[in-house]
Copies of this chain bind each other. A is one copy, B any other.
Amino acid sequence: MTDAPMPPATGKPGLTVSPLAVDFPAMGEIAGVEIATARAGFYKHDRPDLVLFRFAEGTACAGVFTQNKVGSAPVDWCKAALAQTQGEARALIVNAGCANAFTGEAGDLAVRRVADAVGAEIGCPSDAVMMASTGVIGVVLEYGKVLNQLQGLSVALDPGKWEAAARAIMTTDTFPKGAVAEAEIGGVKVRVAGIAKGSGMIAPDMATMLGFVATDANLTPAVLHDLLVHATAETFNAVTVDGDTSTNDTLLLFATGRSGAPQVSDPHDTRLQGFRAALSSVLLSLAQALVRDGEGAQKYVKVGVTGAASASSARRIARTVCESPLVKTAIAGEDANWGRIVAAVGRAGEPIARGALSVRFGPLVAAEHGAVASGYDEAAMSAYMKNAELEIAVDVGVGDGAAVMWTCDLTHGYISINGNYRS
């Protein structure tokens, strides 16, 4: 038995499942993708913490990575390997429980040992092995624990193990996250499936977030990279939990080409229209699931900003609102404290027309024309705030720029989870 016994319900004992959780979808399979999980032992308690993906020959790969300047050994490895292979991959190995970040040469060496061993097991060059790690920073990966499991993982590879993989990469996640979509390219059905993990250190520009998405479409590495970068902007980069980005954020997209659909080598090819939408749908579902599982989250909040000087200005305003501890704690307290939203908007440093500013909670107007709304009804507001899913809309009255961002509230749960993460 390589595959671990039935994993615990959450990534860490003692966590309760987020009230905003969504069910893991029926993922089906992606032709050319096989998966196995195991327990390497990076956690003291009995849970799977290691995943191996094997991809068919000729699989293209693209990645986007953390902007954090400290980075990590596995992120450095992936970037270098993708540059070396020009976007091909045959395997992906992921561990939870150790980030192997800020580990200097010893960390780099551990990554190389793992890549060499996986390459030998799969029968591919080391550079064709992608790698991702999540967990405590500053601890060198004990690569022997990974190497121990490779033979068993190789034997257990199976195309149906998406949910097991999603569970094995969880850290403080309280539910596994997956999404799937279909499209057609040249009249042939293609599928996109992905998994992700959060759930703290979630912020735009890639937070501690791992996401692995695969498709059986036949796309060149250049096309894959273009599609991934564009789809990330409005999905993974439009969610924030605490504004902390991590050293290890990694989003990888693999295309096996085994669907039978024609190859596309131009990112502007009109046959990609449906695929683009399917990819965005998968990424958005995964990104939203990260927010739904934000540490301690009790509320799922969509913040829309309109009337800004530009889309990027709208986005900076939305992000400031989404990351304001005072806004987030007010939401946790089910308090329609629109004044804090106004204050956060003012703090963003972006152009606003104070006398035209409006704030809406769902269908209820809280403020308009730069002051409290004439029909403001505190009782109705309070009732609305009891919903688990909220929508806040701000118009800043200067232009046509708009943006949407998702976040969650800031609760006692966040404090409890993060006050003793390493214990």
Contact = CB atoms under 8 A, between A and B. Distances in A.
A2 interface: no
A390 to B, nearest CB: 15
B71 A138 contact: no
A138 B414 contact: no
Interface in A227-248: 242-247
A415 B247 contact: no
B69 A247 contact: no
Interface string A339-375: 1101111111110101101000000000101111000
Contacts of A412: 412, 415-416
Interface stretch (A40-48, A81-89, A327-335): A327-335
A324 B244 contact: yes
A326 B104 contact: no
Interface residues of A, number: 66
A301 interface: no
Give the dominant DSSP class at A's interface: loop
A416 B415 CA distance: 11
A388 interface: no
Interface stretch (A95-103, A126-134, A159-167, A184-192): A95-103
B244 A200 contact: no
Contacts of A99: 339
Nearest to A396: B69
A69 to B, nearest CB: 4
Nearest to A335: B422
A355 to B, nearest CB: 7
B68 A343 contact: yes
Contacts of A246: 343
A330 B370 CA distance: 39
Contacts of A352: 69-70
B138 A342 contact: yes
28 contacts: A67-B349, A68-B347, A69-B345, A69-B348, A69-B350, A70-B345, A70-B352, A71-B354, A101-B339, A101-B342, A102-B354, A104-B369, A104-B370, A136-B339, A243-B324, A244-B344, A244-B347, A247-B346, A326-B418, A329-B415, A329-B419, A330-B419, A330-B421, A332-B419, A333-B420, A410-B415, A412-B412, A412-B415
Given A329-B418, A330-B419, 11 more contacts: A67-B347, A68-B346, A69-B349, A70-B343, A71-B346, A102-B370, A104-B369, A200-B326, A201-B326, A329-B414, A411-B415
